[in-house]
Amino acid sequence: MSDYKNLILSREGFVATVALNRPKVLNALNLELMTELVDCLEALDQNAGVRAIVLTGNERAFAAGADIKEMADATAVEMLYRDQFARWDRIRKIKTPIIAAVSGFALGGGCELMMHCDIIIASETARIGQPEILIGVMPGAGGTQRLTRAVGKGLAMEMVLTGRQITGEEAMKAGLVNKVVPVEFYLEEAQRLARTIAEQPPVAVRLAKEAVLKSFDTTIEMGLEYERKNFYLLFASEDMREGMAAFIEKRKPEWKGK
């Protein structure tokens, strides 16, 4: 679709697939890649022809973390001024569902990027972890928060404090990953799921995603109120009329995304 130096972007119907593409360094997330990725996700989010996004790497690595060579000599003050990680926050604002298709290493920032996604499909070869402790730091892009919410305090502490990597299977049992499949199918499975989501009414999908994410940063009372408002809002959509009419008329609905 467009020219990116560190990404491969492809599109099939309503589903866009974004593949991280720095294979020689296991897709280490440098500033240039992250800038391209966030710009790319935002552009896809603005494109009404895209209803679901698959984010992937390659068989050997989803991403082995932030680029250590880029950070190794930085001072705290330089890090503060560069504020290169601020762009990660923009991923949270993407309204289109993002499905991670993960094979091989998803470590440090790679694991955190994976956890920014809404649904995670892993291959049997996935190795997931927060190994920052082994290089003298700690997770900085949500690892201590998102991992803990997903797998619970005990396992999160163990992973963050020892750097132990877990397999896709262990991650699934712990609730971090939705499904584990043989390596030859992980991308296909994520794209199949993306197509299923893309077949649903797009406005409802966006508002529902937003409401689920809201549960992470609000009280149950506020969250329920937010959910109810989004529910009522959907009664202003043409797709809601179409969906209910189609049910009553026993036919397949035709979504307009309006």
Phi, psi dihedrals of residue 68, rounded to the nearest 5°: -65, -35
**Cβ–Cβ < 8 Å for 167, 159:** no
- 12 bridge partner residues: 15
> 143 or 201, CB closer to ligand DAK?
143
> 66 or 156, CB closer to ligand DAK?
66
Please, how many CA atoms are within 13 Å of residue 82, restricted to the half-sphere of its CB? 14
Sole window of 3-11, 60-68, 92-100, 181-189 interacting with ligand DAK (rule: CB under 6 A): 60-68
Least CB distance to ligand DAK at residue 123 (A): 15
**Active-site residue numbers?**
66, 109, 112, 132
| Binds ligand DAK (CB under 6 A): choice among 19, 57, 67, 103 | 67
| Binds ligand DAK (CB under 6 A): choice among 18, 55, 66, 204 | 66
Distance of CA 126 to the CA centre of its chain: 16
| Binds ligand DAK (CB under 6 A): choice among 88, 116, 172, 193 | 88
Distance of CA 186 to the CA centre of its chain: 15
How far, in Å, CA of 58 to CA of 60, rounded? 6
| Binds ligand DAK (CB under 6 A): choice among 37, 107, 171, 194 | 107
Instruction: Check binding of 231 to ligand DAK (CB under 6 A).
Output: no
> 141 or 207, CB closer to ligand DAK?
141
DSSP H stretches of helix in 117-201: 148-151, 153-162, 168-173, 186-198
Q: Return the structure tokens found at 161.
A: 């404090």
Instruction: Check binding of 57 to ligand DAK (CB under 6 A).
Output: no
Kind and range of the H or E element at 90? Answer: helix 88-91
Instruction: Check binding of 140 to ligand DAK (CB under 6 A).
Output: yes
Least CB distance to ligand DAK at residue 108 (A): 3
Instruction: Check binding of 22 to ligand DAK (CB under 6 A).
Output: no
- Among the listed residues 134, 140, 158, the one whose alpha carbon sits nearest the alpha carbon of residue 29: 140
| Binds ligand DAK (CB under 6 A): choice among 57, 65, 168, 201 | 65
| Binds ligand DAK (CB under 6 A): choice among 16, 117, 141, 190 | 141
| Binds ligand DAK (CB under 6 A): choice among 38, 41, 64, 156 | 64
Sole window of 47-55, 67-75, 149-157, 208-216 interacting with ligand DAK (rule: CB under 6 A): 67-75
> 85 or 231, CB closer to ligand DAK?
85
Least CB distance to ligand DAK at residue 40 (A): 18
Maximum pairwise Cα distance, the chain: 66
Sequential DSSP letters for 183-243: GGGHHHHHHHHHHHHHTS-HHHHHHHHHHHHHTTSS-HHHHHHHHHHHHHHGGGSHHHHHH
